Amino acid sequence: MKMGNQPFPLASREEHPEDTLIRLGTLEIGGRRPVVMAGPCSVEGRDALIDIALTLKHLGADVLRGGAFKPRSSPYSFQGLGEEGLKYLADARAITGMPVVSEVMEPQAVGLVAEYVDILQVGARSMQNYALLRAVGHSHRPVLLKRGFSNTVEEWLLAAEYILSAGNPNVILCERGIRTFETATRNTLDLNAVPVARYLSHLPVIVDPSHGTGYSRYVIPMARAAIAAGAHGLIVEVHPEPDKALSDGQQSLTPTEFRQMVSQIHKVHDAIEDFVVTSI
């Protein structure tokens, strides 16, 4: 089970054969039913967020996603609404009852973000930000840990080990695409990571086909494939008018497409449910 030289005893399935189940109210992440997290890339305004949240709840989303603090390659790009965005997310949760996930980018902000959201997201660029991993490890909130776009599965599990060893047992792994030479997709969504991570670890594994492919037309087939590969859920970007999104519109589903995706992944899940449990 060891691939490199570095053990990850707390994340390892060898030492913890049972799947980890993370509970948020009545929601279970890591159980039999696939979890769907959805929302806009960035929180852009209170009314728009509440509108899309109500729609997504109605269409079968379990968790609302939305970026308040946005990691951007350029200092001149839109950096998100910050705490104001977190407040809108909290408002959307109060109205819809859906738990909320949002990214935290620095150790000092963990307390603030944890006040407003139910799941703390550590982004791909932060996967080896060890101070941040320790800080979310000291939080009582579950952590969604995105795989770095050039990190091995072993490094991903070692990053999870930082969080687990700081005292937080509730880590959700999220595959979101790696960097390769291919240019037809924004990244190369690496679905191999799903069975590999489930073989090596007991932690739940979800998949982000929006960032993973970068084009909305590939999101639904790759979402189906993720569930068929054994993923415990998905996180996708949805925007009422993708053309007008402040960021990542090209990869956002419309609400109609989202409804199709939910329907299809549940059919895939129903078809393979018994196999996944026994074959991994």
Where in 208-267 is the site for a second copy (CB under 8 A)? 212-213, 217-218, 220-222, 224-230, 260, 264, 267
Q: Which of residues 78-107 bind a second copy (CB under 8 A)?
A: 105-107
The helix/strand/coil state of 161 is: helix
**How far apart, in whole angstroms, are the C-alpha atoms of residue 110 and residue 164?**
16
Give the interface size with a second copy as a residue count (CB under 8 A): 79
Q: Which of residues 16-35 bind a second copy (CB under 8 A)?
A: none
Please report whether residue 15 would count as binding a second copy according to CB under 8 A: no
Query: 8-39 burial by CB neighbour count: b if 16+ within 10 A, else e?
Result: bebbbbeebeebbebebeeebbbbeebbbbbb
- Which pair of structure tokens corresponds to residue 88? 């809108």
**How far apart, in whole angstroms, are the C-alpha atoms of residue 158 and residue 39?**
29
Question: Shortest gap between Cβ of 45 and a second copy (angstroms)?
Answer: 23
**How far apart, in whole angstroms, are the C-alpha atoms of residue 190 and residue 99?**
27
Question: Shortest gap between Cβ of 79 and a second copy (angstroms)?
Answer: 8
**For residues 47 and 150, which CB has a smaller minimum distance to a second copy in the complex?**
150
* Strand partners of residue 144: 121, 172
**How far apart, in whole angstroms, are the C-alpha atoms of residue 222 and residue 261?**
10
Question: Shortest gap between Cβ of 100 and a second copy (angstroms)?
Answer: 22
Q: Give the x-and-dash track for 175-214 against a second copy (CB under 8 A).
A: ---xxxxxxxx--xxxxx-xxx--xx-----------xx-
User: Alpha carbon of 185 to those of 78, 81, 206, 207, 259: distances in Å?
Assistant: 23, 28, 20, 16, 23
Q: Which of residues 111-140 bind a second copy (CB under 8 A)?
A: 125-126, 128-132
Judged by CB under 8 A, which stretch of 26-34, 58-66, 87-95, 158-166 contacts a second copy?
A: 158-166
Question: Shortest gap between Cβ of 260 and a second copy (angstroms)?
Answer: 7
Identified binder of a second copy from the candidate list 165, 246, 249, 255, rule CB under 8 A:
165
**How far apart, in whole angstroms, are the C-alpha atoms of residue 175 and residue 222?**
12
Q: Which of residues 44-83 bind a second copy (CB under 8 A)?
A: 71-77
**For residues 38 and 200, which CB has a smaller minimum distance to a second copy in the complex?**
200
